[in-house]
Copies of this chain bind each other. A is one copy, B any other.
Amino acid sequence: MPEKINRQMVIAGIPEGRLHISHYKMREAAVPQPGAGQVLVRTLLISMDPVSRTRITGKPGGLQIGDVMPSSGLAQVVASKHPDFTEGQVVECAPGWQDYSVHGSDALTGIDRLGPLTHHLSVYGVSGLTGYFGMTEAGMPKPGETVLVSAAGGAVGHIAGQVAKLRGARVVGIVSSPEKARWLTETLGYDAAIDRRAGPVGAAIKQACPEGVDLYFDNVGGEVLETALTRMKDHGRIVICGYASQYDTQTPETATRGVPSVVLYKRLRIDGYVVMDYYGKKQAARKQMAEWMKAGKLQVAIDLLDGLERAPEGFAGLFNGENRGKRMIKVADEV
């Protein structure tokens, strides 16, 4: 049953540079009531998605002070005034950083339970599907090819790298700490890992990929993308999945040196990749990943923080590369 209070984590300030926990504050509001055709849900898990940072601009159209931080997640139906949804049902939706929210039926999707709820927000959710289709539909590495993945220990990257391995590629990951580098090679089965803070990335890529890179799956943009361009084989492919290095700033640098010059000389192919374009195949993707997990061939890393109050630190920490795998916040247990 709904409590009397709806805790909401709202924007308290617009960062001039990097996001900090002081840019959020907790507010208490009344629990909203569903109108005709609407559904009241209680948030269970909220997803930490780096790209959400780009909405905190303070500009018209962006988030403003006092706005509840938006987020996708999983929630449980508390009260339904729509025939398709029943009390207790778990749904995918965009609850935001708060306990309770009201949605129209179009904004809710029931889930077919395939495992723990955390799997539905990771391997079976947007980030897992992004990693999966990023290799099976966008990058499509062939056996023996060298695949480089940036943010390789992240929510998308750790799946993408393993899927590339399962397709027979040689996989090299770029991460932001020596611990994550070891995790990639010792636990996830990467062939090599680069700690991008340990020294020049270009030299490290050259050492790890002496014949060059066939496929670069890029989640970060910025200097790592520029450096990777110069280490591609002729006719290499780059899949642009994100550019997280430019999210946590009010002055993103989305100009990439080497485009068009290196792209031309090396005859590179660059593809912008958005997972939703492949959602028609998502059930088959989930089935395949479930089989791989059952067979011990795919490791799923969940980085779970407990409590809505931890959302700001959990979110800001994404941009320090703190997370291993998919970071999410547990707001409430399923009842």
Query: A residues engaging B (CB < 8 A)?
Result: 218, 221, 225, 240-243, 246, 252, 254-274, 277
Contacts and interface: CB of A to CB of B under 8 A. Distances in A.
18 contacts: A221-B261, A243-B260, A243-B261, A243-B264, A246-B261, A254-B258, A254-B262, A255-B255, A256-B259, A260-B270, A260-B272, A263-B271, A263-B272, A265-B272, A267-B271, A267-B273, A268-B272, A269-B272
A240 B256 contact: no
Q: How many copies of the polypeptide does the oligomer hold?
A: 2
Contact of A260 (B218, B257, B264, B266): B218
A267 B254 CA distance: 16
Nearest to A257: B255
A56 to B, nearest CB: 16
B254 A261 contact: yes
A74 B76 CA distance: 76
A270 B267 contact: no
A255 to B, nearest CB: 4
Contact of A255 (B221, B256, B277): B256
Given A255-B256, A268-B270, A269-B270, 13 more contacts: A218-B260, A225-B260, A240-B264, A254-B260, A255-B257, A259-B270, A263-B270, A264-B272, A264-B273, A267-B272, A269-B269, A269-B271, A269-B272
Contacts of A274: 264-265, 267
A230 to B, nearest CB: 12
Contacts of A258: 254-255
Nearest to A256: B259
A59 to B, nearest CB: 16
A284 to B, nearest CB: 21
A251 to B, nearest CB: 13
A240 B263 contact: yes
Contacts of A265: 272, 274
Contacts of A266: 272
A253 to B, nearest CB: 9
B277 A264 contact: no
Contact of A277 (B225, B262, B267, B269): B267
A255 B255 CA distance: 5
Contact of A241 (B225, B256, B264, B277): B264
A242 to B, nearest CB: 7
A-B residue pairs, 5 tightest by C-beta: A254-B261, A263-B272, A255-B255, A270-B270, A255-B257
Instruction: Give the most central of A246, A266, A272, A277: most B CB within 10 Å.
Output: A272
Contacts of A271: 263, 267-270
A287 B272 CA distance: 36
Contacts of A262: 254, 272
A262 B265 CA distance: 22
A243 B3 CA distance: 62
